[in-house]
Amino acid sequence: MQGNLLTDNRNLCTVLGLPFDSVNLTKAVSLVESCIENHRRCFLSTPNLNFIVQSHLNRAFYESVLESDLVIADGMPIILVARLLNLPLPERVAGSSLFEALANKPRTRPIRVFFFGGQGDAAQKAAANLGDLSPGMESCGYLNPGMGSVESMSDIETIEQINTAEPDFLVVALGAEKGQRWIMHNRHRLHVPVLSHLGAVINFVAGGVRRAPTKWQSLGLEWLWRIYQEPQLLRRYFYDGLQLCHLLFAKILPLTIYQQLLRIGSAANRPLKITTEKIDNCLEVHLSGAATAANCWSTKDCCDRALQQPCTILKHVRVDCAELSYIDSASLALLLVFKISLSHRGQSLSFFNLSPRIVTLMNLHGVAHYLLDNRS
């Protein structure tokens, strides 16, 4: 999945401000296996509710999800919100479930795993236990860098130790925010196909914490089991629950009602027309009609063509929304990824002639703070 983030035919939708890949566990396993087999870079992010709450307080944390090659919904609240909004997230795909599925599949050549981080000797224990627990994985090393800064954990010796071990899968456990920053800081120096912050995985493999029984997981009660196993999580879950209640009444329910009204009023059913105009080093994109999942391919094609332009020729992309009647979760997810792709090339994305309707939709989807930060 390395390269242009828009060229992999990802099926994305926006939930609570973040883009998620619409995949089930089987598909996620297949994607990760393909990246390992073909040695293609896959930065895997696994947002849960706490992840979403924190990402909206921390711009770099938020952008780490936008830059990820595969984003799976590691939390039942996300799936429940998606169902309420009629979004195509088929099921919860926990990072622990993905790791287990990969580990439990017998292979002629096991997946080589390197454990980085964790508390105490958790990484060492996980490395020692993995071979006995898994027919499909083997440990190729571990390292606990201690409590330093991201920079102190990124010295040449550390990166060389990981690369020399030749892992297929790097499991990071430094705390979600710090772990994402560490991956972002070092991913271009690491010769590892799959990188992900999966803090709970190290504890589960090390044996220090037992994962919830399957029935608890299927009922969406794994959080309750986690509190039983790790009481210190109670405060975090309580805070996250309050934030979910706030989002429910401030964003989710209003969005549900507003979208339904727009569908009844036919604003969401108009065909989409896209025209472009090159003015000096700026590409103006004029959208007319409704940008939806049904016609997302045309929006994606326009984004891809813009990304193929040399940075010396194209500096800015400006989107004219004067005749845009509606925009849905899939199109917003595409624009989020498009903007982060442009920013890494030194290019910018802005919007102009925005109607109150489109601004309201962006606000309720939780993306206005990012998409409209340099609004024309």
CA dist., res. 116 & res. 196, Å (int): 10
Helix axis angle, 329-343 relative to 296-307, nearest 10°?
0
Beta strands in 184-248 (DSSP E): 194-197
Query: Quick one: which H or E segment has residue 193?
Result: none
CA dist., res. 203 & res. 180, Å (int): 18
Sequential pLDDT tens for the chain (376 residues): 444 444 467 899 999 999 999 999 999 999 999 999 999 999 999 999 988 999 988 999 999 999 999 999 998 999 999 999 999 999 999 999 999 999 999 999 999 999 999 888 999 999 999 988 899 999 999 999 888 899 999 999 999 999 999 999 999 999 999 999 999 999 999 999 999 999 889 988 988 767 667 777 676 777 777 777 777 778 877 888 898 899 999 999 999 999 999 988 888 889 999 999 999 899 999 999 999 999 988 999 999 999 888 888 899 999 999 999 999 999 999 999 999 999 989 999 999 999 999 999 999 999 999 999 865 5
CA dist., res. 115 & res. 12, Å (int): 29
Best CA proximity match to 303, nearest among 279, 340, 338: 338
Q: Where are the chain's structural domains?
A: 12-239, 267-371
141 and 110 in contact (C-beta within 8 Å)?
no
The pLDDT, as a whole number, for residue 374 is: 67
* DSSP class of 308: T
Best CA proximity match to 177, nearest among 156, 149, 139: 149
CA dist., res. 303 & res. 285, Å (int): 10
Best CA proximity match to 111, nearest among 175, 33, 29: 33
347 and 315 in contact (C-beta within 8 Å)?
yes
The pLDDT, as a whole number, for residue 5 is: 44
Q: What are the CA-CA distances from residue 220 to residues 118, 213, 234 (Å)? A: 25, 11, 16
In CATH terms, the superfamily for domain 267-371 is STAS domain (3.30.750.24)
Best CA proximity match to 365, nearest among 340, 329, 336, 331: 329
Q: Starting from the edge strand earliest in sequence, which strands make up the sheet with 42-45, in order?
A: 70-71, 42-45, 194-197, 169-173, 111-117, 137-143
